[in-house]
Structure 1
């Protein structure tokens, strides 16, 4: 089964998930507020993502989409159901007003943006483009304001009025998004970082204006008698300019953080060549229907997931799996949309189209992971919920205490404004989601799907990894290497009988035996076929009862094995083969020996897992001799081998390790691995495996290379480390900055620059994940 078999989401009764686009959020307080309001609806829970401006809302039966939208809109934001144009024209309550730096420009009224999702919008630079004119005007006017205010040599009679006039457009039009957001929040009895900015900037401007009006001679002849006029126009102008510059750089950087997901979603073919009535017709790939046959020539992208009906080729799957070597394909093989046909002409029958394709499902899983919330982020949410009101109280106390103890209005005012500006929690709100956005996007580029933020936490604590041998460490493609006859039964008859009975089984060993037997001739008809998972198969062939399977299975069915028979088994196993018994009419007829090959890269991958601090353990249903030989080859210690394990025994193996205090990861690809993947602390499915294994896992590697498992764990840990670093600096910055400002040791202009820089630095730190593995 190929990577294209990733599990499609099926509709089930009960709670459903609604994905929203939310415009107007600017900080962690916004996120907390939306989640809190939605959580007040009975049975509703929400996870809001700041950089993606989106939310995943779990909605019970009885709650409509419109109720969800109305709740968000009533909170002061604009909500629309993702990719649902119908909701984008609905009226709203103060919609888009809350803190949106682009609510009037570059977004709502740009032609062609209707129905566009957030990542597309950011790809077009809408947010950055809307900030640019406000930033340019602020910068042009702030330069003379700053120079005149700070350098007495440049001051002239009545310079304060000129500076005030130049500052006015900066604190009104350029700073309008901050004021508008603050006003909307005030109407809803709430506050965010925009509240702090608006109050600080407005206070500085109004204080300066009132001071001039009360003392008209203040700047009549240059500076005040004290040598410095108590005017703060330059503070207002510089702070607004720095904050807008920070927002602009942040918007540019955040768009890069989403590049990986945008690149993933853009990989699909745009056109398909469909065979209709024997004629090749070019159609948009989106118009393909399930069952249609389409042509793929060398060098072309495969338009959608499908099954090859004619032709042979090699397919470059690196876009999906991250593996560089092309995969050979032929008739009846599954192929994945967006992969590239490198050689022969193929005819493919479409099996999945639209939202059901592997590419679409990958995008959905990545988006879901990015919209989720890591446990570590909950701390930031709890703090941000009370942060802004606390800062407002601190600013008032700072002003009052300075006034009481120093009597210096100017010093009191400066300290209070600095507290308001330095405390803006932008970096706090961006610390987790931008890191998650970049890390999961990079993972998708490498063929790794992380199901949710909790997985990042799990990878940090895992210390043991169980590796299913077949299909994970080895190729999983057994081939018959010997047929050992017993009781004078000719080898050809042993193979013929075994091939016939195994032809009705789905087990990989059965396929290998049946395929090998077919190369020697036609197989007889099979009757009364039965099978026992983990045991063997039984059928009536040409009037004879034939069994094939383990020794225990034969003995359960009354077959007695002699010492000579068992000696033959030991000999076969010492050669590192898997031996299957064949019995006819109650007597052992022979042994069929099969051998698997170790995957290229398994030795290196297991060495990397050890470097990550993991203890690799080999898990297999094969006998101890085969398992020991494989373990020795790939570098696993003899004591770290679980052999002769039945499917249900895999779960017990995981539980046994967990009971011993290990935190267990499990990597597997088969149906019989699903229960163990679910039981493990971290389940890792190989993407070449079955749908049920992928569904049960926490991490999915879309290829079949064990090295990707090590890469997945390393990248997950790196992403978590980046998020923690972001949070540390965001907390540290506010924890240090607020008391420094309250003590009057921080100029408001420096505070504004530092606050803007903190957000940009958090985003820039996250963007380093884009280079992981390069």
Structure 2
């Protein structure tokens, strides 16, 4: 429906375009620079961005511009009405947002829809939450409305957790059904049919009657007890692929169909015994496999389920229980002893102790009092605290860790992709071998029944499932155990590569040292300024710096001078105009002017003690130097020694001076060191090692080591606060404990060994079992038992990996 837009267009025409006096027609913000102009309804409409213009045009075309621009209050729902109203929540990833007003516009449009109680979107997160009445509007309609606005919505989840035990329960019921009917079928075979077959009475009335009974009993055993693999085979057929379910379904349905025909035709042996035994062995094995897999993945599941559903919010003088996802920044909550913290919050009253082990890997409880932060998902084991929300549920450190782990689990390691490919080819090969087996037996034995049984045995005995399970289950065990000690693996490929590492390179500041830099000396070269004045001059220039050295200097002075023109030089220093003069703070070759010989000697004295020296110049002359101290992390020397004992060479790559770098390297016993390196030069050093055939692991602070981390075969960073998901390395350490680095390397070796064992067993099993089945040495029932046993062996070996990791983890903690 067309509508008149002149009112909106006229509203935006203020002072001349682009001079800062115009406002965007969509978001209402001042237009900086040249405006984006669109001709709408015969008038020029001005916008701040192309995104705003696009949203405005789509809304105008859809006839919902009044909803987008409406500033009316959202619908208010009374408490009684809310209690009576069916309510559901959907979380949405919303692509196509260009500015904060896009998020507001999306919420307004949805809140005008009948059945939507509230809709909020976060531009920075690209996510939204919609509370709605499912009896009035469906999720598809919500997504359709957003698509009509030009966004790209996608459902990311719903409120509430699905019961993970339901799948296990369904398989257990199927196993019980299959086992119950299988026992009845086998009883009739042993009591009636086998004796009749031994006497050659295939066409007797007793054989026919018993055949009808076992047919009736075998049918629910296969189609109810075996519905998991029958459904899986059907889905594979729809997807035009094949897997283990395809093989088992083909085998059982072939034997079942032949036996049905034999019952009706009479005079032939029936193979319902093979049908029910195959079904029972497969389903019971699948149930045990599911239970074992759940145990193997319990650590990952525990991490993903740390987020509590409910929270106690302070509303005036009362406590109200609300959904944790409904809390917003600034609200006050109460956490009592034994409860999990619902969101990241700052304690404002009370004290206690929190168990953060599942989130940080730190086994010792942490004391909490006013001013301390409590993290979502941690348990308050002592006391009661009142806290102010600092990050909502979707932005907590726990949420970041969960997203990281979920993304990692959704990514396949190279060896896993190889196993999947091999599994697909194995399935196709088994189907071909089964067909050839059938033809061969028919030609040789002249018996279609014998040919069918041999072909079924081939289909059932093959176990591509064991090949497919070999890697992901071991990886899941490893990721779960690693997460419990604070090692968050972003790239599964790092699990493979870390065990091959031949050299470990470390950054110095914030990696081998605490990263808590402290100014210990400020020395003027010509006496024109005092040490305090020199420090404040440098602090003023570094006020906007993000580098650890710059932040330490900036915090060393309380009264900074007027500053403008801040310009950082990556790996060199910073430049700024301070109190009208050009000031540079950084390396000796970056500052202006000649450095006096006396200051050079002072530099060497500080550097020999491992201190970092920063130079300060004003105008064209060097003013002096500032020395900073950063203590080495406890246990760093032991970590270096442990890595050297395992045959891994160590190196220190630092941007600091040669003397300071050499002092730290000597103190820790590091094999080699390189000093005065820019971030790009660090990457070049690593590339040179790789060119010599070395596999390099780089450990950095993630601040200015990005090129080196990207270049290394395995990269490790130490995350702080909520930046876990923002790290770009392969592995993130949730706590500053360098012992986790060699422990992760050992973890990689253990994991790789178990994966090789799993793959080796799966390949060896298929190489031996398939020929035995093809030559008729293995019956279908035995084939089903060995196939199930093969998968269970892989599951058991992966559980053994978990126990080995637990033992090494206990030594670490």
Normalised-by-shorter TM-score class? 0.7 to 0.9
Superposed counterparts of 1:298-313, under 5 Å: 301-306=340-345
Alignment coverage as a number of residue pairs: 653
Matched ranges for 1:295-334 at <5 A: 295-296=334-335, 301-306=340-345, 316-325=355-364
Asked if the contact 2:405–2:488 (Cα under 8 Å) also holds between the matched residues in 1, the reply is yes
- Cα distance, 1:542 vs structure 2: 6.9
Q: State the 1:137 CA deviation.
A: 1.4
Q: Could you tell me whether the CA contact under 8 Å between 1:504 and 1:529 is conserved in 2?
A: no
Query: Alignment partner of 1:671: what SS?
Result: coil
What residue number does 1:227 align with? none
Q: In 1, Cα distance between the equivalents of 2:647 and 2:739?
A: 15
Aligned-pair CA distance for 1:357: 2.4
Q: What TM-score, normalized to structure 1?
A: 0.73
Are 1:127 and 2:174 an aligned pair?
Answer: no
Q: 1:246 aligns with which of 270, 285, 288?
A: 285
2:755 matches 1:755: no
For residue 571 of structure 1, report the CA deviation from its aligned partner. 1.6
Residue 635 (structure 1) aligned to one of 669, 690, 700:
669
Kindly indicate whether the alpha-carbon contact (under 8 Å) linking 1:442 and 1:769 is maintained by their aligned counterparts in 2.
no
| Residue among 725, 732, 741 paired with 1:709 | 741
Say whether the 8 Å CA contact 1:502–1:514 is kept in structure 2: yes
Q: 2:561 aligns with which of 525, 541, 548?
A: 525
Distance 1:263 1:653 in 2: 41
2:515 corresponds in structure 1 to: 476
Deviations 1:326-383 (A, max 9, x none): 5677887765322356778766443432333222232222222222222223334334
Contact 2:507–2:653 (CA under 8 A) maintained in structure 1: yes
Matches within 5 A, 1:165-564: 167-169=214-216, 171-176=218-223, 177=227, 178=229, 191-204=242-255, 232-277=271-316, 281-296=320-335, 301-306=340-345, 316-325=355-364, 336-340=375-379, 348-407=387-446, 412-484=451-523, 486-488=525-527, 490-495=530-535, 497-499=537-539, 501-503=541-543, 505-518=545-558, 523=559, 525-528=561-564, 530-533=566-569, 534-537=571-574, 548-554=585-591, 557-558=592-593, 560-564=594-598
Distance 1:129 1:547 in 2: 72
Q: Is the 8 A contact 1:149 1:234 kept in 2?
A: no
Separation in 2, partners of 1:273, 1:198:
52
User: Secondary structure in 2 aligned to 1:723?
Assistant: helix
Taking a change above 3 Å as real, the CA distance of residues 627 and 165 of structure 1, as seen in their structure-2 partners, is farther
Contact (CA 8 Å) 1:138, 1:240: kept in 2 or not?
no
Aligned to 2:636: 602
* Alpha-carbon distance, 1:492 to partner: 4.7
Alpha-carbon RMSD across the aligned residues, in angstroms, is 4.2
Match of 1:728 in 2: 760
Change beyond 3 A, Cα 1:285–1:192: closer
**Structure 2 counterparts to residues 12-51 of structure 1, below 5 A:** none
Distance of 2:259 and 2:751 partners within structure 1: 46
**Aligned pair in 2 of structure 1 residues 581, 334: CA closer, same or farther (>3 Å)?**
farther
Conserved 8 A contact 1:669-1:688: no
Q: Distance in 2 between matches of 1:723 and 1:118?
A: 31
Q: Is the 8 A contact 1:149 1:155 kept in 2?
A: no
Q: 1:700/1:123 Cα in 2 relative to 1: closer, same or farther (>3 Å)?
A: farther
Checking the alignment, whether the CA contact within 8 Å between 1:501 and 1:529 is kept in structure 2 is: no
1:542-592 per-residue CA deviation (whole Å, 9 max, x = no partner) reads 7877654332233xx22x322222112112222222223345676555443
User: How far, CA to CA, are the matches of 1:356 and 1:434 in structure 2?
Assistant: 29
Relative to 1, partners in 2 of residues 1:300 and 1:608: Cα closer, same or farther, differing over 3 Å? farther
Any conservation in 2 of the 1:305–1:337 contact (CA below 8 Å)? Answer: yes
Query: Do the aligned partners of residues 348 and 255 (structure 1) sit closer, same or farther apart at CA in structure 2, a change above 3 Å counting?
Result: same
1:551 is paired with a residue whose SS is: coil
Q: Match for residue 226 of structure 1?
A: none
**In the TM superposition, what is the alpha-carbon distance from 1:444 to its structure 2 partner?**
2.4
CA distance in 1, matches of 2:230, 2:616: 83
Change (3 A) 1:599 1:411: same
Deviates further, 683-692 or 472-481: 683-692
For residue 647 of structure 1, the aligned residue among 659, 664, 679 is: 679
For residues 291 and 336 of structure 1, the distance between their equivalents in structure 2, rounded to whole angstroms, comes to: 15
Instruction: Structure 2 unaligned segments of length 5 or more: list them.
Output: 1-50, 52-92, 98-128, 141-156, 808-813
State the distance in 1 between where 2:215 and 2:802 align.
41
Structure 1 position 719 matched with structure 2 position 746: no
Matched, 1:687 2:730: no
User: Matched residues in 1 for 2:595 and 2:677: separation?
Assistant: 22
8 Å CA contact 1:294–1:350 kept in 2: the answer is yes
- Structure 1: gaps (5+ residues): 1-12, 14-56, 62-82, 91-113, 219-229
> Take 2:744 and 2:163, find their aligned partners in 1: how far apart are those partners?
27
| Deviation, structure 1 residue 751 | 1.0
Match of 1:737 among 769, 773, 777: 769
- Provide closer, same or farther for how the CA distance between residues 340 and 182 of structure 1 changes in structure 2, counting only shifts above 3 A: closer
Gap change, CA 1:328 and 1:486, over 3 Å in 2: farther
Q: Tell me: CA distance 1:688–1:752, structure 2 relative to 1, closer, same or farther (3 Å).
A: same
CA deviation vs aligned residue, 1:261-311 (integer Å, no higher than 9, x gap): 221122224443444457655433222113324355676543213456678
Inter-CA distance 325–628: structure 2 relative to 1 (3 Å threshold): farther
Using the size of structure 2 for normalisation, the TM-score is: 0.70
